[in-house]
Amino acid sequence: MRTVDLSPLYRSFIGFDHLASLMDAAARTDKQPSFPPYNIELLDQDKYQITMAVAGFSEQELSIESQSNTLKVSGTKAQKSAQPERQFIHQGIAERSFERKFQLGDHVKVISAALEHGLLVINLLREVPEALKPRKIEIGTGNVLESK
């Protein structure tokens, strides 16, 4: 497989080093976990929703943590000894523990989470502070190079 050198991005785009490092990480060939399946939807300009299929998990077995720009969703199944022994002919519903991490953009926070019909729905909102929003700069007239 061919590798791509992204170091010119670090020199050309000041302040986008986080984006370049994310691209580096995406280019790695590490196996990404595929369980549980999930969707990420854009509901509005600054509203997002993550929906995860967590059939067989109860609210007590699920954990959602948000720290810095990382959202971690994990599920821990109860010990097998506490459950009666079952004999499956086909087991298509996974009953294994999982941990899935999502990288959140700047100023994105978790609003709410709900579990219904085996789907865990997490609502996210991006709230950019007023100080960081773009502002219009008026262009004045006159000689700005004059010393006072």
In order of their start, the domains of the chain are 1-30 (no CATH), 33-79+91-128 (2.60.40.790)
103 or 81, greater pLDDT = 103
Mean pLDDT of 31-45: 81
Lowest mean pLDDT among 4-18, 22-36, 134-148: 4-18
Does residue 87 or residue 133 have the better pLDDT?
87
Long-range Cβ contact pairs of 111-120 (< 8 A, separation 24 or more) = 113/64, 115/54, 115/57, 115/58, 115/59, 115/62, 118/53, 118/54, 118/55, 118/56, 118/57, 119/51, 119/52, 119/53, 119/54, 120/51, 120/52, 120/54, 120/57, 120/62, 120/73
Q: Check pLDDT > 70 for residue 1.
A: no
Is residue 135 over pLDDT 70? yes
